Amino acid sequence: MKITFLGATKTVTGSNFLVEGAGKKFLVDCGMFQGQAKEELENEAPFLYDVHDIDFMLLTHAHIDHSGRIPKLYKEGYRNKVYATKATCDLCSIMLPDSGHIQEVEIEWRNRKRKREGKEELPPLYTAQDAIDCLEIFKPVHYDEIIEIDENIQARFNDAGHMLGSSIIEVWIKENGETKKIVFSGDLGNNDIPLLDSPTMIDNADFLVMESTYGNRLHMRNDEKASLFLSIVSETLEKGGRVVIPSFAVGRTQEILYELDSIKQNSEEDEKFAKEYEELMNAKVYVDSPLAISATEIFKKNTDLFEEEVKEKIESGNNPLEFPGLHFTPTADESKALNENDEPCIIISASRNVRGR
């Protein structure tokens, strides 16, 4: 068995691992490099393997730094399966075409400059249509289900608690009468991420391939963040201002909506809290991103993956992703209209290009 690390080493993006074992070659993730121009140029480099030799792929989650080069893989001839959870497949159906649109817009800008310099125009890394086409090779799977790839290779997807559908993947490979287990952690969530269950505990492995971007720091507790958030929002609204929250379209936006709903649902015998709570209750909340709006709909369709407390809320008729005062701006005109609106409000605005956290 052999593992080749082709991304997410000495950098935090571009996840791509090539595994060779039991007569097969397969990939775990195929993400885009993101960040400075130097890193992003790596996306245009040829794959360091023949895409026609790859027997299958396992995808940990939908963030673009893990999934973003799958359309390029498809464009170059890969037609075998991409195994991923249903929620990951659902999210890729909006995130990959969105990424393809970004590739088209960016290459158009670059080509205008190249044309002025008398240089030949370049094609996009892939188009939105390439991304739509590649969805045909996605194979949805369920958490905890052992997948028989063939008689010598099995895999199981476990909840990683990082984003909707994210997975820790266990892989068993049998060679020469001996079975070895590799675990790919993907990106790991914390134990208190709103909406999502905590990461699954894996109790054994022969080899562990693990992300460690935040391995040397402690995160603020989520309830502490909510309290600080409420205080800042209340102060801004009280002064007649507007709170603009930059947020990843997928994951972060839905977590903020959940926190806003939780704050609106709670009450305490505290004068300061009551005042801040009233300010929030009277404020309108706008989600200003087409991708975030589509992602929120996908979250609503995959509520079976939420933590038990959230499921109970939904079953009682209180969906935390829907509450009075919540508005979406799906069109460009509605988004522009926010600039003309001087009322105190909260605007959750997401960049189109989405990566992990």
Q: pLDDT digits over 138-164, tens only?
A: 999 999 999 999 999 999 999 999 888
- Does residue 352 register a pLDDT over 50? no
Q: Once rounded to an integer, what is the mean pLDDT over residues 327-331?
A: 82
The token duo for 245 is 């929250």
Q: What is the structure's pLDDT at 74?
A: 98
- Does residue 305 register a pLDDT over 80? yes
The fold adopted by the segment(s) 222-351 is: Rossmann fold (3.40.50)
Q: Once rounded to an integer, what is the mean pLDDT over residues 111-138?
A: 95
**Coil, strand or helix at 132:** helix
Higher per-residue pLDDT: 250 or 290: 290
223 Cβ neighbours under 8 A, 6+ residues apart: 192
Q: Once rounded to an integer, what is the mean pLDDT over residues 25-39?
A: 91
Helices vs. strands in the chain: H and E counts, helices first:
11, 15
Q: What is the structure's pLDDT at 356?
A: 42
The token duo for 336 is 């522009």
302 pLDDT band (50/70/90 cuts)?
confident
Distance CA 256, CA 333 (A): 24
Phi and psi angles of residue 32, each rounded to the nearest 5 degrees, phi first: -85, 145
The token duo for 203 is 């109790």
Distance CA 168, CA 72 (A): 24
Q: β-strand 24-28 against 167-175: which pairing, if any? A: unpaired
Distance CA 63, CA 29 (A): 10
CA dihedral 71, 75, 81, 84 (to 10 degrees): 0
Q: What is the structure's pLDDT at 219?
A: 63
Task: Please name the amino acid found at residue 37.
Answer: A
- The residues spanned by each domain of the chain are 2-209, 222-351
Q: How far is CA 155 from CA 66, 158, 174, 319, in A?
A: 18, 10, 12, 34
Q: How far is CA 38 from CA 33, 109, 222, in A?
A: 9, 18, 35
Higher per-residue pLDDT: 63 or 287: 63
Of residues 344, 355, 216, 223, the one with CA closest to residue 286: 344
Higher per-residue pLDDT: 320 or 299: 299
Q: Once rounded to an integer, what is the mean pLDDT over residues 238-264?
A: 73
270 pLDDT band (50/70/90 cuts)?
low
Q: What is the structure's pLDDT at 225?
A: 65
Query: Does domain 2-209 bear CATH number 3.40.50.10860?
Result: no
Task: Answer yes or no: are the C-beta atoms of 259 and 194 closer than 8 Å.
Answer: yes
Match 């993947």 to its residue by tokens. 169
- Does residue 7 register a pLDDT over 80? yes
Burial label for 224, CB within 10 Å (0-12, 13-18, 19+), is: exposed
Task: Answer yes or no: are the C-beta atoms of 216 and 321 closer than 8 Å.
Answer: no
Task: Answer yes or no: are the C-beta atoms of 64 and 99 closer than 8 Å.
Answer: yes
355 pLDDT band (50/70/90 cuts)?
very low
Task: Answer yes or no: are the C-beta atoms of 122 and 103 closer than 8 Å.
Answer: no
